[in-house]
A and B are shown apart, each in its own frame.
Chain A
Amino acid sequence: MSTYTIKVQRFDPSVDKEPYYKTYTVPYEDKDISQLSALKALRYINQYIESIGFDYNCRFGGCGRCGVMVDGVPKLACFAPLTEGKEHTLEPLKGFPVVRDLVIDRSKTYDRFLNSSVSIKTLDPIVKPKPIEAKLWWETLNPLNRCKECMSCYAVCTALQVEKRWESFIGPGAMMQIYQRAMDTEDKADRISQAAFSGAFQCVQCGLCNTVCPAEIPIKENIADLQQRAAARNLKPSDTSAPNWPLL
């Protein structure tokens, strides 16, 4: 039997003045054949120690609901292995309002996904899906499909979290929806223009998003591609550190 130490940020905004931390010890029997994930640990705490606020659905890296900060790094709790003998810290995703403990209100960034208008703009309705070059689907469109809307990229985005460009940059996740349509051979809208006016040049190309994306989407490179294509059409602002207009 192995034991793991997990420090969890607790906060009930209806009664607590400030968030506080509580440390739990979680036993685990199967260390030799598996790994204790942060989600398994949270489920253990909730089941056997005390009720705790955390969210999940699929338990296999699909639904994107269990995103938390594990030792300061955003991860899907189900995809976050813990180490015996180390004190791990679980906190809610950075930069979001806390509903309770590890549960966040993600509407401020989900609204950006909605505003990116991901549906395919076609002049006639799609009655039967059109062919897509196999290479394009496998290498580009499918990885973009696999975004889980887990909001990890928003929690590390330098342009948003450090530079505070919330007013002018739609953010990495929503920008990937624009990119998916920009790469889509059926979409008839001007997505390069949309990318430029959604703040593609506000991205500072730090690449942190790439390191935390559980779907392994090359977000940095995709935004760089949008920047290049926008620049080629004279859609690059003269001062990229200043927000372009209209916003978002």
Chain B
Amino acid sequence: MSADEKSKVTDSDQKPQKGITRKNFLRGSAFAVLGAAATAASGGVAFGDTKKESNGKTSAATKTHNGKTDRSYITHDTDVLIIGGGIAGMAAARQAVKAGLNVSMIDKGPAGHSGGSGMAWGHTFVTNEFYEGDVKNSVMAFLVDCSGIIDQENYLALCKATKEGRPIAFAEQCGTVQQRNDKGNVAHMDDGGPITFVYEYRARHEAQHIIHSGVHVFDNTMVVDILRAPDGSVAGGVGINLYTGEAHVFRAKTVVMATGGYVWNTGYTINGPELTGEGHAIFMRHGLAMKDMEFFHADLEAFRPYGSRMKARNELEPAMAAALNGESWDVLYNKKGENVAKGFFLDPKLSAYPGAAFLGAIITSAKEIMHGDGTPGDGSGNGIMMDVTRWYTDTNLGDTLYGHRLREAETALGYKHDKLVECIPEFYGSCAQPKINPHTTETEIPGLFCAVHNLTELTSMISFAQGHLAGKFAAEKAANIKMPAVSVAAIQDVLNRNYGLLENTPSNPIRVTEVFQKIQDTFYKGLSLIRDEKGMTAALNEFLRIQKEDLPRINVPYKTKQFNRDWRNAMEVESMLLCSIGTAYGSLYRKETRPFHFRTDYPVMDNDNWLANVWVKMQKDGQWTVTKTPIVDTVFPAEQVKKVLLPVDMRVPNVHV
């Protein structure tokens, strides 16, 4: 391809834009592209040139003479664009770099420190790279863990990809030294199971390696949309630097979406505030149906002493981030003081699959809550109680992360926990995926590959494997195609939408933080671990009301482009809302209990009707449709799947061992 062809920018958008002619767009953007460097350098007004508004607040320095925020942007040309810098994004970047391509990565937070990777700063990583048996056995482990509804064809490819990519060996090569057992071996490496836990994985060393290896990392940069070529294939993406407000346009042959999940919506999560679902919202806005939105992975965490809620929402109590862990699940008690999860690891049926045993602990906790022996999160001391004291004394207690945190917190905060702590269910991963080619992860949008959170609660390995496959095949495709044309009108449309949120001065303003909190509250009230039709319907109606009434009122009071949290939240809030609405529709549709979707009105797992995937789609007119399809059972037939799944019947109170 010649340089001229490569740099060709065409306006393929046939829709006239409101109030602005296509000619203006072209002229303006050509200037913007050419003048990008100069504009960036002289973007702000000179120091001291600020004006005080009548309300006493300083006006923004970023408005141009016509009152609009500067719409210039910086253009980057890359073979593969990776959106998201966590475990999946880094695995994708590694494969694309290995193929010798130009790779750009945008990451919403600081490199190596954002989204789920914040949690990954001492992470229990799951892998099958040490397993020498039939890879189908690893698929079976995930099948049990995910209550039977994984895409088996895809998971077979993912289990093979993990063996090929060797995440633990690679992390070790990048400089992480993972937890050793008494013999000096990586914990559980020699256990011989189809999947094994490895402790103390760190994302930070791998992030350093990825930058070293030549991936062009644009961190603190939030994706706001993808770009499409005239034939519908992907043509790049648009990001906004959250530190400076500058827009970056990436022209790319292929794009890997690795934005994690949307658990920040849920109100209570161990995960980070980056996870507001931009990737999923982009999928939905571009017409892709989403699968299994009703599912989230849950755990029990203490957010404040005794689980009491804080008004500012979601303040994880640092001293008590004591998640359940493989060797210590007998630390859970109900309000009667009975141990609710003891003995899980003595049951050979459960201990064969680590995910299933974890699931067992969550199911039994959910039962306690449902039957009134645990009332989560009200601060009354009636929730599921956790004994965290063992973390202080037993340094060999599985993953050492939580023990370290407790000891570090003890030093920093000066208090130590000597009694049981009340925990509440929290969500740490969402599960929704668009339809993909199970072998390559390519979506129905040609060139757009998917590596967002998948169905498993054993997220690390699957995120890695999705990234591995997505990066590998995105690179393979990029190596064989020309740079697609991008639509300048589409770029301007994206910028107008997002800078418009900053400029907006609605007549009946509502601060975005208020809307943010309403969504989180509504989600936790109606769509937490224990659900019913009434609560979910109320949540859905409230989401739809917020969408109709509150979104147009959103106001960003202070107008700077410089690290403006409110503006960032305003850009996030529509994504949160679309993901929440999709979750509500999917959850209402699935009329059964299947972990982690526990319904009091349909308390039994119903494999005859619901061993199926639920698809939620936002139509062009804004209406939503929900359908279901049978599971993909190409590795283990559905009849066999039904036999291996743990039966789930929430009507039966837990039997305490």
Contacts and interface: CB of A to CB of B under 8 A. Distances in A.
Contacts of B558: 50-51
5 contacts: A79-B318, A99-B243, A145-B200, A214-B408, A214-B412
A168 to B, nearest CB: 22
Interface of B: 43-45, 47-48, 50, 58-62, 109-115, 117-119, 121-122, 130, 166, 168-170, 172-186, 189, 200, 202, 204-205, 208-209, 211-212, 243, 270, 272-274, 304-306, 308, 310-318, 321, 395, 400, 404-405, 408-409, 411-415, 513, 517, 556-558, 560-566
A103 B118 contact: no
B517 A47 contact: yes
Nearest to A100: B563
Contacts of A61: 318, 405, 408-409, 412
Interface in A22-63: 30, 33-35, 37, 39-40, 43-44, 46-48, 50-53, 55-63
A37 B316 contact: no
Given A30-B304, A62-B121, A145 B202 contact: yes
Contacts of A14: 43-45, 60-62, 560-562
B58 A12 contact: yes
Given A15-B60, A63-B113, A132-B184, 13 more contacts: A12-B560, A17-B50, A34-B304, A53-B562, A57-B113, A58-B316, A60-B317, A62-B405, A110-B111, A119-B175, A120-B173, A128-B169, A129-B172
A134 B180 contact: yes
B177 A180 contact: yes
B173 A125 contact: yes
8 smallest CB-CB distances across A and B, nearest first, come from A57-B118, A79-B412, A100-B563, A63-B118, A131-B184, A118-B175, A57-B272, A59-B316
Contact of B312 (A43, A145, A147): A43
Interface in A59-92: 59-65, 75-76, 78-81
Nearest to B121: A62
A15 B61 contact: yes
Range class of the A interface residue count: 35 or more
B312 A59 contact: no
B312 A47 contact: yes
A37 B179 contact: no
Interface centre among A13, A52, A63, A64 (most CB of B within 10 A): A63
B267 to A, nearest CB: 13
B372 to A, nearest CB: 24
Contacts of A119: 173-175, 205, 208-209, 212
Given A60-B405, A114-B211, A129-B172, A30 B177 contact: no
A117 B212 contact: yes
A94 interface: no
A65 B109 contact: yes
A134 B118 contact: no
Given A40-B310, A62-B122, A46 B513 contact: yes
B119 A62 contact: yes
Contacts of B60: 14-15
A12 B562 contact: yes
A177 B109 CA distance: 22
Contacts of A177: 175
B44 A51 contact: no
Given A117-B212, A214-B412, A16 B400 contact: no
Contacts, number: 235
Interface string A109-132: 010011001111010011111011
B412 A75 contact: yes
A106 interface: yes
Nearest to A42: B312
A134 to B, nearest CB: 5
A79 B413 contact: yes
Contacts of A167: none
Contacts of A180: 175, 177
B165 to A, nearest CB: 12
A229 interface: no
Contacts of A225: none
B453 to A, nearest CB: 17
A43 B47 CA distance: 29
A129 B321 CA distance: 28
A60 B304 contact: no
A108 B315 CA distance: 30
Instruction: Name B's interface SS.
Output: loop
Nearest to B413: A81
A141 B542 CA distance: 51
B186 to A, nearest CB: 5
B169 to A, nearest CB: 5
Contacts of B395: 138
A15 B243 CA distance: 14
Interface in A131-172: 131-134, 137-138, 141-142, 145-149
A235 interface: no
Given A57-B273, A120-B173, A215-B408, A142 B566 contact: no
A137 B62 contact: no
B560 A30 contact: no
A21 to B, nearest CB: 15
Contacts of A117: 212
B166 A65 contact: no
B175 to A, nearest CB: 4
Contacts of B318: 37, 59-61, 78-79
A216 interface: yes
Contacts of A39: 315
Contacts of B314: 59
A105 interface: yes
A236 interface: no
A220 interface: no
Nearest to B315: A40
Contacts of B411: 216
A64 B113 contact: yes
B113 A79 contact: no
B176 A106 contact: no
Nearest to B401: A62
Nearest to A135: B184
Contacts of B270: 58, 60
Interface string A176-216: 01001100100000000000000000000000000000111
Given A51-B558, A114-B211, A120-B173, A103 B563 contact: yes
A189 to B, nearest CB: 12
Contacts of A51: 513, 556-558, 564-566
Contact of B180 (A12, A137, A146, A181): A137
Given A37-B413, A57-B274, A132 B121 contact: no
Contact of B179 (A56, A133, A137): A137
Interface centre among A13, A52, A61, A64 (most CB of B within 10 A): A61
A106 B204 CA distance: 15
Given A57-B274, A79-B318, A128 B189 contact: yes
Interface centre among A80, A106, A128 (most CB of B within 10 A): A128
Interface centre among A40, A51, A128 (most CB of B within 10 A): A51
